[in-house]
Chains A and B, each alone.
Chain A
Amino acid sequence: MFNKIIIGRFMPGNSWIHRLDARTKLIISILFIFVIFLATSVPAYLLAGLLTLVVIMMTGLGFKTFLRGIRPLLFLMLLTTFLQIFFVTTGTVLWQFGWIKVTTDGLINGAAIFVRFMLIIIFSTVLTLTTQPLEIADAMEALMKPLKRIGVPVAELALMISIALRFVPTLLDEAETIMNAQRARGVLFNEGHLIHRIKAFVPLLIPLFINAIKRAIELGDAMEARGYRGDTERTKYRVLTWQRQDTIAMAGFLLFVVILIGMKFIFG
Protein backbone atom coordinates (compact mmCIF):
# COMPACT_ATOMS: atom_id res chain seq x y z
CA MET A 1 0.00 0.00 0.00
CA PHE A 2 2.94 2.30 0.48
CA ASN A 3 4.61 2.04 -2.89
CA LYS A 4 1.75 3.91 -4.56
CA ILE A 5 2.97 7.18 -3.13
CA ILE A 6 4.49 9.08 -6.03
CA ILE A 7 4.74 12.54 -4.51
CA GLY A 8 8.39 13.38 -4.27
CA ARG A 9 9.45 10.24 -6.13
CA PHE A 10 12.84 10.53 -7.76
CA MET A 11 13.34 9.26 -11.30
CA PRO A 12 16.97 8.58 -12.10
CA GLY A 13 18.30 10.01 -15.30
CA ASN A 14 21.19 11.95 -16.69
CA SER A 15 19.61 14.90 -18.43
CA TRP A 16 20.87 18.46 -18.29
CA ILE A 17 18.19 19.18 -15.69
CA HIS A 18 19.22 16.14 -13.63
CA ARG A 19 22.78 17.37 -13.46
CA LEU A 20 21.84 20.88 -12.36
CA ASP A 21 22.74 21.87 -8.83
CA ALA A 22 19.90 21.15 -6.41
CA ARG A 23 20.12 24.71 -5.12
CA THR A 24 19.49 26.11 -8.59
CA LYS A 25 16.46 23.91 -9.05
CA LEU A 26 15.08 24.69 -5.61
CA ILE A 27 15.51 28.45 -6.02
CA ILE A 28 13.97 28.45 -9.49
CA SER A 29 11.03 26.29 -8.36
CA ILE A 30 10.28 28.60 -5.44
CA LEU A 31 10.69 31.76 -7.49
CA PHE A 32 8.50 30.36 -10.25
CA ILE A 33 5.54 30.19 -7.85
CA PHE A 34 5.82 33.94 -7.25
CA VAL A 35 6.75 34.88 -10.78
CA ILE A 36 3.77 33.10 -12.34
CA PHE A 37 1.50 35.72 -10.75
CA LEU A 38 3.18 38.34 -12.94
CA ALA A 39 1.60 36.70 -15.94
CA THR A 40 -1.69 38.45 -16.64
CA SER A 41 -2.03 38.32 -20.39
CA VAL A 42 -2.41 35.55 -22.94
CA PRO A 43 1.07 36.07 -24.44
CA ALA A 44 2.56 35.92 -20.94
CA TYR A 45 0.83 32.61 -20.23
CA LEU A 46 1.97 31.31 -23.60
CA LEU A 47 5.54 32.20 -22.69
CA ALA A 48 5.31 30.53 -19.28
CA GLY A 49 3.73 27.49 -20.89
CA LEU A 50 6.48 27.38 -23.50
CA LEU A 51 9.16 27.52 -20.80
CA THR A 52 7.47 24.70 -18.89
CA LEU A 53 7.23 22.66 -22.07
CA VAL A 54 10.92 23.16 -22.82
CA VAL A 55 11.84 22.17 -19.25
CA ILE A 56 9.74 19.01 -19.50
CA MET A 57 11.44 18.09 -22.78
CA MET A 58 14.83 18.70 -21.23
CA THR A 59 14.24 16.26 -18.37
CA GLY A 60 13.83 13.46 -20.91
CA LEU A 61 11.21 11.78 -18.73
CA GLY A 62 8.28 12.13 -21.12
CA PHE A 63 4.91 13.86 -20.70
CA LYS A 64 3.15 10.87 -19.23
CA THR A 65 5.20 11.00 -16.06
CA PHE A 66 4.18 14.59 -15.48
CA LEU A 67 0.53 13.97 -16.28
CA ARG A 68 0.56 11.20 -13.69
CA GLY A 69 1.97 13.69 -11.20
CA ILE A 70 -0.94 16.04 -11.86
CA ARG A 71 -3.71 13.46 -11.69
CA PRO A 72 -4.04 13.28 -7.87
CA LEU A 73 -4.43 17.07 -7.78
CA LEU A 74 -6.76 17.30 -10.75
CA PHE A 75 -9.89 17.30 -8.58
CA LEU A 76 -8.60 20.22 -6.52
CA MET A 77 -7.66 22.13 -9.66
CA LEU A 78 -11.03 21.62 -11.29
CA LEU A 79 -12.90 22.49 -8.10
CA THR A 80 -11.13 25.84 -7.77
CA THR A 81 -11.64 26.52 -11.44
CA PHE A 82 -15.38 25.87 -11.26
CA LEU A 83 -15.73 27.91 -8.11
CA GLN A 84 -14.11 30.79 -9.99
CA ILE A 85 -16.37 30.32 -12.99
CA PHE A 86 -19.60 30.22 -10.99
CA PHE A 87 -18.91 32.78 -8.31
CA VAL A 88 -17.28 35.61 -10.24
CA THR A 89 -20.23 37.72 -11.20
CA THR A 90 -18.64 40.69 -12.93
CA GLY A 91 -18.34 41.07 -16.68
CA THR A 92 -20.79 40.15 -19.42
CA VAL A 93 -23.25 37.44 -18.51
CA LEU A 94 -23.06 34.58 -21.00
CA TRP A 95 -25.40 32.07 -19.45
CA GLN A 96 -27.71 32.15 -16.48
CA PHE A 97 -29.68 29.52 -14.61
CA GLY A 98 -31.39 30.80 -11.49
CA TRP A 99 -28.73 32.42 -9.35
CA ILE A 100 -25.87 30.68 -11.16
CA LYS A 101 -24.21 32.96 -13.69
CA VAL A 102 -21.35 32.27 -16.06
CA THR A 103 -19.60 35.48 -17.02
CA THR A 104 -16.67 36.34 -19.27
CA ASP A 105 -14.60 37.45 -16.24
CA GLY A 106 -15.39 34.19 -14.50
CA LEU A 107 -14.21 32.15 -17.45
CA ILE A 108 -11.03 34.17 -17.81
CA ASN A 109 -10.28 33.92 -14.09
CA GLY A 110 -11.02 30.23 -14.05
CA ALA A 111 -8.76 29.56 -17.01
CA ALA A 112 -5.98 31.67 -15.49
CA ILE A 113 -6.14 29.78 -12.19
CA PHE A 114 -6.18 26.43 -13.92
CA VAL A 115 -3.12 27.28 -15.99
CA ARG A 116 -1.25 28.74 -13.01
CA PHE A 117 -2.01 25.71 -10.90
CA MET A 118 -0.83 23.36 -13.60
CA LEU A 119 2.38 25.22 -14.31
CA ILE A 120 3.31 25.42 -10.61
CA ILE A 121 2.65 21.71 -10.08
CA ILE A 122 4.62 20.74 -13.16
CA PHE A 123 7.52 22.91 -12.07
CA SER A 124 7.68 21.43 -8.60
CA THR A 125 7.33 17.94 -10.09
CA VAL A 126 10.40 18.69 -12.20
CA LEU A 127 12.30 19.41 -8.98
CA THR A 128 11.26 16.23 -7.18
CA LEU A 129 11.54 13.97 -10.21
CA THR A 130 15.03 15.03 -11.16
CA THR A 131 16.61 15.60 -7.74
CA GLN A 132 17.38 13.04 -5.07
CA PRO A 133 15.63 13.81 -1.76
CA LEU A 134 19.06 13.98 -0.17
CA GLU A 135 20.20 16.69 -2.54
CA ILE A 136 17.02 18.64 -1.86
CA ALA A 137 17.83 18.38 1.85
CA ASP A 138 21.36 19.62 1.17
CA ALA A 139 20.00 22.47 -0.91
CA MET A 140 17.59 23.43 1.86
CA GLU A 141 20.46 23.46 4.32
CA ALA A 142 22.52 25.67 2.03
CA LEU A 143 19.63 28.08 1.59
CA MET A 144 18.92 28.14 5.34
CA LYS A 145 22.52 29.00 6.17
CA PRO A 146 21.86 32.74 6.59
CA LEU A 147 19.38 31.86 9.36
CA LYS A 148 22.31 30.65 11.47
CA ARG A 149 23.01 34.26 12.36
CA ILE A 150 19.67 34.64 14.09
CA GLY A 151 20.28 31.49 16.14
CA VAL A 152 18.58 28.81 14.04
CA PRO A 153 20.51 25.52 14.52
CA VAL A 154 20.90 24.90 10.80
CA ALA A 155 23.46 22.06 11.06
CA GLU A 156 21.31 20.14 13.55
CA LEU A 157 18.20 20.65 11.45
CA ALA A 158 20.07 19.41 8.38
CA LEU A 159 21.25 16.30 10.24
CA MET A 160 17.70 15.65 11.41
CA ILE A 161 16.34 15.99 7.88
CA SER A 162 18.97 13.67 6.46
CA ILE A 163 18.40 11.03 9.18
CA ALA A 164 14.65 11.32 8.71
CA LEU A 165 15.00 10.80 4.97
CA ARG A 166 17.31 7.85 5.50
CA PHE A 167 14.80 6.18 7.83
CA VAL A 168 11.74 6.65 5.62
CA PRO A 169 12.17 3.38 3.68
CA THR A 170 13.28 1.52 6.82
CA LEU A 171 10.18 2.58 8.74
CA LEU A 172 7.88 1.89 5.79
CA ASP A 173 9.27 -1.64 5.63
CA GLU A 174 8.75 -2.02 9.34
CA ALA A 175 5.18 -0.72 9.15
CA GLU A 176 4.47 -3.27 6.43
CA THR A 177 5.96 -6.08 8.56
CA ILE A 178 3.99 -5.09 11.67
CA MET A 179 0.79 -4.80 9.63
CA ASN A 180 1.26 -8.27 8.21
CA ALA A 181 2.09 -9.64 11.66
CA GLN A 182 -1.10 -8.11 13.08
CA ARG A 183 -3.13 -9.34 10.11
CA ALA A 184 -1.82 -12.83 10.84
CA ARG A 185 -3.30 -12.44 14.31
CA GLY A 186 -6.65 -11.40 12.97
CA VAL A 187 -6.54 -7.60 12.92
CA LEU A 188 -8.56 -6.27 10.00
CA PHE A 189 -7.27 -3.04 8.50
CA ASN A 190 -9.44 -1.04 6.07
CA GLU A 191 -12.63 -2.83 6.97
CA GLY A 192 -15.72 -1.85 8.90
CA HIS A 193 -16.86 1.65 9.78
CA LEU A 194 -14.68 4.64 10.57
CA ILE A 195 -14.24 4.17 14.33
CA HIS A 196 -13.45 0.51 13.72
CA ARG A 197 -10.80 1.36 11.18
CA ILE A 198 -9.17 3.93 13.41
CA LYS A 199 -9.05 1.44 16.29
CA ALA A 200 -7.45 -1.16 14.02
CA PHE A 201 -4.46 1.10 13.56
CA VAL A 202 -3.56 1.15 17.26
CA PRO A 203 -1.81 -2.25 17.13
CA LEU A 204 0.22 -0.87 14.22
CA LEU A 205 1.09 2.53 15.66
CA ILE A 206 2.17 1.57 19.17
CA PRO A 207 4.80 -1.00 18.14
CA LEU A 208 5.95 1.41 15.44
CA PHE A 209 6.45 4.21 17.99
CA ILE A 210 8.19 1.99 20.52
CA ASN A 211 10.51 0.61 17.86
CA ALA A 212 11.25 4.13 16.66
CA ILE A 213 12.30 5.09 20.18
CA LYS A 214 14.51 2.00 20.45
CA ARG A 215 16.05 2.81 17.10
CA ALA A 216 16.70 6.37 18.20
CA ILE A 217 18.52 5.20 21.33
CA GLU A 218 20.68 2.77 19.37
CA LEU A 219 21.37 5.30 16.64
CA GLY A 220 22.39 7.80 19.29
CA ASP A 221 24.83 5.29 20.76
CA ALA A 222 26.26 4.53 17.33
CA MET A 223 26.66 8.23 16.58
CA GLU A 224 28.40 8.94 19.88
CA ALA A 225 30.66 5.93 19.42
CA ARG A 226 31.76 7.47 16.15
CA GLY A 227 32.59 10.75 17.78
CA TYR A 228 29.48 12.86 17.19
CA ARG A 229 29.62 15.72 19.66
CA GLY A 230 27.11 18.11 18.20
CA ASP A 231 28.74 21.21 19.57
CA THR A 232 31.81 21.14 17.36
CA GLU A 233 32.39 22.42 13.87
CA ARG A 234 31.93 19.49 11.49
CA THR A 235 33.23 19.21 7.95
CA LYS A 236 31.04 17.96 5.14
CA TYR A 237 31.62 14.99 2.86
CA ARG A 238 28.81 15.89 0.53
CA VAL A 239 29.11 19.28 -1.12
CA LEU A 240 27.05 20.93 -3.79
CA THR A 241 29.06 22.42 -6.63
CA TRP A 242 27.89 25.38 -8.62
CA GLN A 243 28.73 24.79 -12.28
CA ARG A 244 28.51 26.79 -15.44
CA GLN A 245 25.18 25.17 -16.34
CA ASP A 246 23.73 26.52 -13.10
CA THR A 247 24.71 30.04 -14.08
CA ILE A 248 23.15 29.45 -17.51
CA ALA A 249 19.93 28.13 -15.99
CA MET A 250 19.74 31.05 -13.57
CA ALA A 251 20.42 33.56 -16.35
CA GLY A 252 17.78 31.92 -18.53
CA PHE A 253 15.23 32.08 -15.73
CA LEU A 254 16.10 35.71 -15.04
CA LEU A 255 15.59 36.53 -18.71
CA PHE A 256 12.17 34.87 -18.50
CA VAL A 257 11.28 37.00 -15.48
CA VAL A 258 12.39 40.19 -17.23
CA ILE A 259 10.34 39.36 -20.34
CA LEU A 260 7.30 38.59 -18.16
CA ILE A 261 7.61 41.95 -16.44
CA GLY A 262 8.01 43.62 -19.84
CA MET A 263 4.86 41.88 -21.08
CA LYS A 264 2.95 43.14 -18.07
CA PHE A 265 3.69 46.69 -19.22
CA ILE A 266 2.91 46.02 -22.88
CA PHE A 267 -0.23 43.86 -22.64
CA GLY A 268 -1.44 44.99 -19.23
Chain B
Amino acid sequence: MATMIELKNVSYTYPEAETPALQDLSLTIDAGEWVAVIGHNGSGKSTLAKLLNYLLQPSAGEIRINGILAEPVNVWTIRDLVGMVFQNPDNQFVGATVADDVAFGLENRGIARDVMQQKVEQALRRVHMWKFAAREPARLSGGQKQRVAIASALVLAPQVLILDEATSMLDPKGRREMVQLVRELKQELGSALTVISITHDIEEAASANRVIVINDGSLIETGVPSVVFSDAKRLQSFGLDVPFAEQLKAKLAAKGVDVPDDYQTTEGMVNWIWQSISPK
Protein backbone atom coordinates (compact mmCIF):
# COMPACT_ATOMS: atom_id res chain seq x y z
CA MET B 1 0.00 0.00 0.00
CA ALA B 2 1.13 3.54 -0.71
CA THR B 3 2.67 5.54 2.09
CA MET B 4 0.61 8.58 3.05
CA ILE B 5 2.54 10.05 5.93
CA GLU B 6 6.22 9.70 6.58
CA LEU B 7 8.12 11.15 9.53
CA LYS B 8 11.89 10.89 9.59
CA ASN B 9 13.68 11.66 12.86
CA VAL B 10 11.27 14.48 13.65
CA SER B 11 11.86 16.55 16.76
CA TYR B 12 10.00 19.57 17.99
CA THR B 13 10.81 21.89 20.85
CA TYR B 14 8.39 24.66 21.82
CA PRO B 15 9.97 28.08 22.10
CA GLU B 16 11.07 28.67 25.69
CA ALA B 17 10.65 24.99 26.58
CA GLU B 18 13.61 23.13 28.01
CA THR B 19 12.77 19.64 26.88
CA PRO B 20 11.56 18.80 23.40
CA ALA B 21 7.87 17.95 23.02
CA LEU B 22 8.76 15.33 20.42
CA GLN B 23 12.07 13.54 20.08
CA ASP B 24 13.46 11.75 17.08
CA LEU B 25 10.13 10.41 15.94
CA SER B 26 10.13 8.18 12.87
CA LEU B 27 7.01 6.56 11.59
CA THR B 28 5.01 5.84 8.45
CA ILE B 29 1.28 5.64 7.96
CA ASP B 30 -0.19 4.00 4.88
CA ALA B 31 -2.95 5.44 2.75
CA GLY B 32 -6.35 4.34 4.02
CA GLU B 33 -5.18 3.34 7.48
CA TRP B 34 -7.08 4.25 10.63
CA VAL B 35 -4.47 4.94 13.24
CA ALA B 36 -5.04 5.84 16.87
CA VAL B 37 -2.33 7.75 18.71
CA ILE B 38 -2.49 7.32 22.47
CA GLY B 39 -0.40 8.70 25.29
CA HIS B 40 -0.91 10.51 28.58
CA ASN B 41 -1.33 14.27 28.94
CA GLY B 42 1.70 16.15 27.71
CA SER B 43 3.15 13.18 25.88
CA GLY B 44 3.30 15.16 22.63
CA LYS B 45 0.23 13.80 20.86
CA SER B 46 -1.26 17.18 20.00
CA THR B 47 2.13 18.51 18.93
CA LEU B 48 2.28 15.63 16.49
CA ALA B 49 -1.14 16.55 15.10
CA LYS B 50 -0.11 20.16 14.58
CA LEU B 51 3.11 19.11 12.87
CA LEU B 52 1.18 16.96 10.41
CA ASN B 53 -0.97 19.90 9.39
CA TYR B 54 2.01 22.24 9.33
CA LEU B 55 0.57 24.45 12.05
CA LEU B 56 3.99 23.82 13.62
CA GLN B 57 7.30 23.42 11.82
CA PRO B 58 9.56 20.57 12.95
CA SER B 59 12.77 21.71 14.66
CA ALA B 60 14.62 18.78 13.10
CA GLY B 61 13.86 15.93 10.72
CA GLU B 62 11.43 15.89 7.84
CA ILE B 63 7.77 15.18 7.30
CA ARG B 64 6.25 14.09 4.00
CA ILE B 65 2.53 13.97 3.34
CA ASN B 66 1.66 11.98 0.22
CA GLY B 67 5.24 12.50 -0.89
CA ILE B 68 5.14 16.27 -0.43
CA LEU B 69 7.79 17.63 1.89
CA ALA B 70 6.49 19.86 4.68
CA GLU B 71 8.30 23.10 4.01
CA PRO B 72 7.07 26.70 3.81
CA VAL B 73 6.49 26.58 0.03
CA ASN B 74 4.07 23.66 0.36
CA VAL B 75 2.11 24.83 3.35
CA TRP B 76 -1.22 25.33 1.53
CA THR B 77 -0.85 22.10 -0.46
CA ILE B 78 -0.37 20.23 2.80
CA ARG B 79 -3.38 21.87 4.39
CA ASP B 80 -5.40 20.81 1.34
CA LEU B 81 -4.30 17.23 1.96
CA VAL B 82 -4.82 17.17 5.71
CA GLY B 83 -8.10 18.06 7.38
CA MET B 84 -8.27 18.55 11.09
CA VAL B 85 -10.86 18.42 13.87
CA PHE B 86 -9.78 19.99 17.16
CA GLN B 87 -10.70 19.30 20.75
CA ASN B 88 -12.95 22.18 21.73
CA PRO B 89 -16.19 22.20 19.72
CA ASP B 90 -16.82 25.89 20.45
CA ASN B 91 -13.42 27.28 19.60
CA GLN B 92 -13.20 25.91 16.09
CA PHE B 93 -16.63 26.99 14.93
CA VAL B 94 -15.88 29.92 12.64
CA GLY B 95 -19.18 30.38 10.86
CA ALA B 96 -22.25 32.06 12.25
CA THR B 97 -24.40 29.10 11.25
CA VAL B 98 -23.73 25.45 10.49
CA ALA B 99 -23.77 25.98 6.72
CA ASP B 100 -21.49 29.02 6.96
CA ASP B 101 -19.01 27.06 9.01
CA VAL B 102 -18.82 24.23 6.50
CA ALA B 103 -18.49 26.76 3.68
CA PHE B 104 -15.59 28.61 5.37
CA GLY B 105 -12.84 26.38 3.96
CA LEU B 106 -14.40 26.56 0.49
CA GLU B 107 -14.61 30.35 0.69
CA ASN B 108 -10.91 30.43 1.48
CA ARG B 109 -10.21 28.52 -1.71
CA GLY B 110 -12.31 30.80 -3.85
CA ILE B 111 -14.83 28.13 -4.90
CA ALA B 112 -17.81 29.39 -6.91
CA ARG B 113 -21.00 29.80 -4.92
CA ASP B 114 -23.19 27.26 -6.73
CA VAL B 115 -20.52 24.56 -6.37
CA MET B 116 -20.13 25.58 -2.75
CA GLN B 117 -23.85 25.09 -2.05
CA GLN B 118 -23.77 21.55 -3.46
CA LYS B 119 -20.67 20.60 -1.53
CA VAL B 120 -21.95 22.02 1.75
CA GLU B 121 -25.18 20.05 1.42
CA GLN B 122 -23.31 16.88 0.55
CA ALA B 123 -20.90 17.21 3.47
CA LEU B 124 -23.67 17.98 5.95
CA ARG B 125 -25.76 15.04 4.77
CA ARG B 126 -22.77 12.79 5.22
CA VAL B 127 -22.57 13.67 8.93
CA HIS B 128 -26.39 13.71 9.30
CA MET B 129 -26.50 17.43 10.05
CA TRP B 130 -28.25 18.81 6.96
CA LYS B 131 -31.42 19.38 8.99
CA PHE B 132 -29.43 21.80 11.14
CA ALA B 133 -27.87 23.79 8.29
CA ALA B 134 -29.38 27.12 9.36
CA ARG B 135 -28.78 26.65 13.11
CA GLU B 136 -26.42 28.81 15.11
CA PRO B 137 -23.66 27.07 17.09
CA ALA B 138 -25.13 28.24 20.40
CA ARG B 139 -28.14 26.02 19.73
CA LEU B 140 -26.17 22.80 19.05
CA SER B 141 -24.87 20.15 21.42
CA GLY B 142 -21.15 19.45 21.72
CA GLY B 143 -21.45 16.27 19.67
CA GLN B 144 -23.36 18.07 16.94
CA LYS B 145 -20.73 20.81 16.77
CA GLN B 146 -18.01 18.19 16.38
CA ARG B 147 -19.98 16.54 13.59
CA VAL B 148 -20.13 19.91 11.86
CA ALA B 149 -16.37 20.22 12.39
CA ILE B 150 -15.91 16.87 10.63
CA ALA B 151 -18.11 18.07 7.77
CA SER B 152 -16.07 21.28 7.56
CA ALA B 153 -12.91 19.23 7.16
CA LEU B 154 -14.44 16.67 4.78
CA VAL B 155 -15.93 19.26 2.46
CA LEU B 156 -12.38 20.08 1.35
CA ALA B 157 -11.89 16.43 0.30
CA PRO B 158 -8.74 15.84 2.35
CA GLN B 159 -6.80 12.60 2.06
CA VAL B 160 -5.96 12.59 5.74
CA LEU B 161 -8.38 13.41 8.56
CA ILE B 162 -6.81 14.15 11.93
CA LEU B 163 -9.05 14.03 14.98
CA ASP B 164 -7.06 15.82 17.66
CA GLU B 165 -8.79 14.63 20.84
CA ALA B 166 -12.01 15.44 19.06
CA THR B 167 -14.11 13.43 21.52
CA SER B 168 -12.46 14.46 24.76
CA MET B 169 -14.95 17.21 25.58
CA LEU B 170 -18.04 15.21 24.68
CA ASP B 171 -20.43 13.19 26.79
CA PRO B 172 -20.38 9.39 26.35
CA LYS B 173 -23.26 9.52 23.89
CA GLY B 174 -21.62 12.16 21.71
CA ARG B 175 -18.41 10.18 21.89
CA ARG B 176 -20.04 6.96 20.72
CA GLU B 177 -21.76 8.84 17.89
CA MET B 178 -18.44 10.28 16.75
CA VAL B 179 -16.72 6.90 16.71
CA GLN B 180 -19.69 5.48 14.82
CA LEU B 181 -19.53 8.35 12.34
CA VAL B 182 -15.82 7.84 11.70
CA ARG B 183 -16.53 4.15 11.19
CA GLU B 184 -19.21 4.99 8.61
CA LEU B 185 -16.89 7.40 6.85
CA LYS B 186 -14.13 4.82 6.71
CA GLN B 187 -16.54 2.28 5.29
CA GLU B 188 -17.77 4.73 2.66
CA LEU B 189 -14.47 6.22 1.61
CA GLY B 190 -12.29 3.17 2.30
CA SER B 191 -8.69 3.65 1.32
CA ALA B 192 -9.39 7.17 0.02
CA LEU B 193 -9.32 8.47 3.58
CA THR B 194 -6.58 8.04 6.14
CA VAL B 195 -7.77 8.69 9.68
CA ILE B 196 -5.46 9.61 12.53
CA SER B 197 -7.31 9.84 15.79
CA ILE B 198 -5.41 11.24 18.69
CA THR B 199 -7.23 10.19 21.77
CA HIS B 200 -7.49 9.46 25.46
CA ASP B 201 -10.41 7.20 24.93
CA ILE B 202 -9.28 3.60 24.90
CA GLU B 203 -12.52 2.28 23.39
CA GLU B 204 -12.05 4.75 20.55
CA ALA B 205 -8.47 3.61 20.06
CA ALA B 206 -9.60 0.00 20.06
CA SER B 207 -11.69 0.68 16.91
CA ALA B 208 -8.62 1.69 14.91
CA ASN B 209 -6.54 -0.57 12.66
CA ARG B 210 -3.35 0.34 14.43
CA VAL B 211 -2.37 1.95 17.69
CA ILE B 212 0.67 4.13 18.22
CA VAL B 213 1.77 4.71 21.79
CA ILE B 214 3.68 7.89 22.56
CA ASN B 215 5.30 8.59 25.90
CA ASP B 216 7.23 11.77 26.78
CA GLY B 217 7.73 12.70 23.17
CA SER B 218 8.99 9.41 21.85
CA LEU B 219 7.38 6.50 20.12
CA ILE B 220 7.02 3.54 22.47
CA GLU B 221 5.32 0.99 20.30
CA THR B 222 2.99 0.53 17.39
CA GLY B 223 0.78 -2.41 16.56
CA VAL B 224 -2.77 -3.69 16.16
CA PRO B 225 -5.01 -2.86 19.15
CA SER B 226 -5.27 -6.47 20.30
CA VAL B 227 -1.50 -6.71 20.70
CA VAL B 228 -0.93 -3.28 22.22
CA PHE B 229 -3.76 -3.65 24.73
CA SER B 230 -2.87 -7.17 25.81
CA ASP B 231 0.00 -5.92 27.97
CA ALA B 232 -2.09 -4.07 30.54
CA LYS B 233 0.76 -3.55 33.01
CA ARG B 234 2.94 -1.87 30.46
CA LEU B 235 0.16 0.50 29.36
CA GLN B 236 -0.51 1.45 32.94
CA SER B 237 3.16 2.24 33.46
CA PHE B 238 2.78 4.92 30.78
CA GLY B 239 -0.19 6.37 32.61
CA LEU B 240 -2.72 4.95 30.18
CA ASP B 241 -6.02 3.24 30.76
CA VAL B 242 -6.74 -0.27 29.67
CA PRO B 243 -9.97 -1.33 27.98
CA PHE B 244 -12.80 -2.49 30.23
CA ALA B 245 -12.46 -6.15 29.22
CA GLU B 246 -8.79 -6.12 30.17
CA GLN B 247 -9.56 -4.52 33.53
CA LEU B 248 -12.11 -7.24 34.19
CA LYS B 249 -9.58 -9.88 33.22
CA ALA B 250 -7.03 -8.48 35.65
CA LYS B 251 -9.59 -8.43 38.50
CA LEU B 252 -10.63 -12.02 37.74
CA ALA B 253 -7.01 -13.14 37.62
CA ALA B 254 -6.47 -11.52 41.04
CA LYS B 255 -9.32 -13.69 42.37
CA GLY B 256 -7.59 -16.76 41.08
CA VAL B 257 -9.64 -17.27 37.91
CA ASP B 258 -7.68 -18.76 35.02
CA VAL B 259 -8.24 -16.10 32.31
CA PRO B 260 -7.09 -16.21 28.68
CA ASP B 261 -3.71 -14.57 28.04
CA ASP B 262 -4.44 -12.84 24.76
CA TYR B 263 -6.35 -9.55 24.27
CA GLN B 264 -10.12 -9.75 24.48
CA THR B 265 -12.74 -7.34 23.24
CA THR B 266 -15.80 -6.84 25.46
CA GLU B 267 -17.64 -9.23 23.15
CA GLY B 268 -14.85 -11.79 23.36
CA MET B 269 -14.83 -11.57 27.13
CA VAL B 270 -18.61 -12.10 27.28
CA ASN B 271 -18.24 -15.21 25.13
CA TRP B 272 -15.40 -16.53 27.23
CA ILE B 273 -17.29 -16.06 30.51
CA TRP B 274 -20.36 -17.62 28.95
CA GLN B 275 -18.41 -20.64 27.82
CA SER B 276 -16.52 -21.15 31.06
CA ILE B 277 -19.48 -21.01 33.46
CA SER B 278 -22.15 -22.83 31.49
CA PRO B 279 -22.22 -26.55 32.22
CA LYS B 280 -20.41 -28.63 29.63
- Name A residues whose Cβ lies closer than 8 Å to a Cβ of B: 134, 162-163, 165-166, 169-170, 173, 214-215, 218-219, 221-229, 232-239
Q: Contact check: which of B83, B104, B113 meets A239 at CB < 8 Å?
A: B113
- Residues of chain A lying within 8 A (CB to CB) of residue B97: 134
B256 at the interface (CB under 8 A from A): no
> Of B84-92, B123-131, B213-221, B233-241, which stretch is located at the interface?
B84-92
Q: Are A169 and B136 in contact (CB under 8 A)?
A: yes
Q: How far is the CB of A172 from chain B (nearest CB, A)?
A: 9
In the bound complex, CA of A25 to CA of B94 (Å): 26
Q: Report, nearest first, the 10 A-B pairs whose CB atoms are least far apart.
A: A237-B103, A222-B92, A169-B138, A218-B91, A226-B105, A227-B108, A225-B84, A166-B96, A234-B107, A215-B91
Write out, one digit per residue, whether chain B residues 51-95 have a CB within 8 A of any chain A CB (1) or not (0): 001010000000000000000000010011011101010111111
In the bound complex, CA of A238 to CA of B98 (Å): 12
**Chain B minimum-CB-distance residue to A217:** B91
In the bound complex, CA of A233 to CA of B112 (Å): 12
The A interface is mostly helix, strand or loop, or mixed, namely helix
- Name B residues whose Cβ lies closer than 8 Å to a Cβ of A: 50, 53, 55, 76, 79-80, 82-84, 86, 88, 90-97, 99-100, 103-113, 116-117, 120, 136-138, 152-153, 156
Q: Contact check: which of A221, A228, A229, A235 meets B112 at CB < 8 Å?
A: A235
Q: Contact check: which of B80, B103, B116, B137 meets A227 at CB < 8 Å?
A: B80
Q: Are B107 and A236 in contact (CB under 8 A)?
A: yes
In the bound complex, CA of A214 to CA of B105 (Å): 22
> Which residue among B82, B86, B108, B152 has the maximum number of chain A CB atoms within 10 Å of its CB?
B108
Given contacts A170-B138, A222-B86, A234-B108, contact A227 B152 (CB under 8 A): no
- Residues of chain A lying within 8 A (CB to CB) of residue B136: 166, 169
11 inter-chain pairs at a CB distance below 8 angstroms, sorted by A residue, are A166-B95, A221-B86, A225-B83, A225-B86, A226-B94, A226-B104, A226-B156, A227-B156, A233-B110, A235-B113, A237-B120
Q: Are A237 and B107 in contact (CB under 8 A)?
A: yes
Q: Are A227 and B92 in contact (CB under 8 A)?
A: no
Given contacts A232-B110, A235-B111, A236-B107, contact A225 B100 (CB under 8 A): no
In the bound complex, CA of A236 to CA of B120 (Å): 13
- Residues of chain B lying within 8 A (CB to CB) of residue A228: 104, 108
Known: A215-B88, A225-B79, A235-B110. 18 other contacts (CB 8 A): A162-B100, A166-B96, A169-B138, A170-B138, A215-B90, A218-B88, A221-B50, A221-B55, A223-B94, A224-B55, A225-B83, A225-B86, A226-B152, A226-B153, A235-B111, A237-B99, A237-B100, A238-B100
**Chain B minimum-CB-distance residue to A216:** B91
- Residues of chain A lying within 8 A (CB to CB) of residue B92: 218-219, 221-222
